Chain A
Amino acid sequence: MSGSPSAEWPLWEVFVRSRRGLSHTHAGSLHAPDAEMALRNARDLYTRRSEGVSIWVVPSAEITASSPDERDPFFEPSADKPYRHPTFYAIPEGVRHL
């Protein structure tokens, strides 16, 4: 594929909200010339088996991601703070489904 359009077309991230889901979850990514076509490609690639009722597409370049270098300062401090989990409460009798 010489001069492949996908080499020039921007990458889009696809988020799909499933029939029973409350929020959109990341489904994958694809190439498309613009947002309208990205939506249509997403429909064809990620909702063929009726996985979704709503689609978002976001230009991959617009996503600001945390860097692997920042992993320790970002995430490690929370590892030894179990008291942040609500596991230290005695559950009153009569409370079900908690």
Chain B
Amino acid sequence: MTAALALGDDALVLSHRLGEWAGHAPVLEEEVALANIALDLLGQARVLLSLAGDEDELAYLREERAFRNVQLVEQPNGDFAQTIARQLYFSTYQELLYERLARGTGPFAPLAAKAVKEVAYHRDHAEHWTLRLGDGTDESHERMRRGLDALWRFTGELFEPVEGCEVEWHTLHDAWLTRITSVLERATLAVPEGPRRGGWAAGAGRQGIHTEPFGRMLAEMQHLHRSHPGATW
């Protein structure tokens, strides 16, 4: 199932990226917050990947080119502001998408209805930090601006229609842009400029083309399972 793989990989890969903050977050409270979000996403990934096949095999034994996640979620954490920028872009998108899937009658409606509450909290968390960093000190403003700019070119791919998701992608995109614009305005930040589609934009993750850091992330994520196949504890 193409869509289960696409949505499941988004959740799995972002979950792993957020998990990388464990032991490195700026404060303990924030570390727990990011780990909570990571675990929510991992739960979603397990349900979605199970719809597509065996969850462990899909997560741990697929090659890079077989992953169908958008390139946005595989981008490295960078500094805390860049992680928040990634969270803001993605969770705003995910909430709008799951709201629509939950209203539908497709196979994802039950999962989406449950997950949308989790995702609403992820988006709220990202918005609060965007406001504080953007409207904070000169340095936090600058870092937030840099994070938003760096990831902007990966946001066009979010609205490439996913086969099997009966969603109006145009209105989804418009709603996303309206929300992002409103948050960034309140945070005294400008909406980044620059291409999000076409030759100069990034994004073919849904076709299995991934960016360089993704291979290293997968190596780390998969090495235990590949070294000890079938191990349990």
Task: List A residues at the B interface (Cβ < 8 Å).
Answer: 1, 4-6, 9, 30-33, 36-37, 40-41, 44-45, 48
Q: Per-position contact with A for B121-159: 1 when CB-CB < 8 Å, else 0?
A: 000110010001000000000000000000000000000
Contact partners of A1 in chain B: CB under 8 A: 26
* Closest Cβ–Cβ distance, residue A33 to chain B (whole Å): 7
Q: Per-position contact with A for B25-39: 1 when CB-CB < 8 Å, else 0?
A: 011111011001000
Are A44 and B32 interface neighbours, CB within 8 A?
Answer: yes
Contact partners of B36 in chain A: CB under 8 A: 44, 48
Our pick among B27, B124, B128 for the contact of A4 (Cβ within 8 Å) is B27
Q: How large is the interface on B (under 10, 10 to 19, 20 to 34, 35 or more residues)?
A: 10 to 19
Our pick among A9, A36, A40, A48 for the contact of B27 (Cβ within 8 Å) is A9
A-B contacts, 22 of them at CB < 8 A, read A1-B26, A4-B27, A5-B26, A5-B27, A6-B27, A9-B27, A30-B29, A31-B27, A31-B28, A33-B132, A37-B128, A40-B33, A40-B125, A40-B128, A41-B29, A41-B30, A41-B32, A44-B29, A44-B32, A45-B29, A45-B32, A48-B36
> For B27, B28, B36, which residue has the most chain A Cβ atoms within 10 angstroms?
B27
* Closest Cβ–Cβ distance, residue B226 to chain A (whole Å): 31
Task: List B residues at the A interface (Cβ < 8 Å).
Answer: 26-30, 32-33, 36, 124-125, 128, 132
Are B26 and A31 interface neighbours, CB within 8 A?
Answer: no
Contact partners of A40 in chain B: CB under 8 A: 33, 124-125, 128
Contact partners of A9 in chain B: CB under 8 A: 27
Q: In whole angstroms, what is the CA distance A75 to B27 when docked?
A: 39
Contact partners of B28 in chain A: CB under 8 A: 6, 31
Q: In whole angstroms, what is the CA distance A5 to B30 when docked?
A: 11
Q: In whole angstroms, what is the CA distance A62 to B202 when docked?
A: 51
Q: In whole angstroms, what is the CA distance A60 to B132 when docked?
A: 22
Query: Which residue of the partner chain A has the closest CB to B25?
Result: A1
Contact partners of A33 in chain B: CB under 8 A: 132
Q: In whole angstroms, what is the CA distance A30 to B32 when docked?
A: 12
Contact partners of A32 in chain B: CB under 8 A: 29
Q: In whole angstroms, what is the CA distance A45 to B27 when docked?
A: 13
Query: Which residue of the partner chain A has the closest CB to B34?
Result: A44
Contact partners of B30 in chain A: CB under 8 A: 41
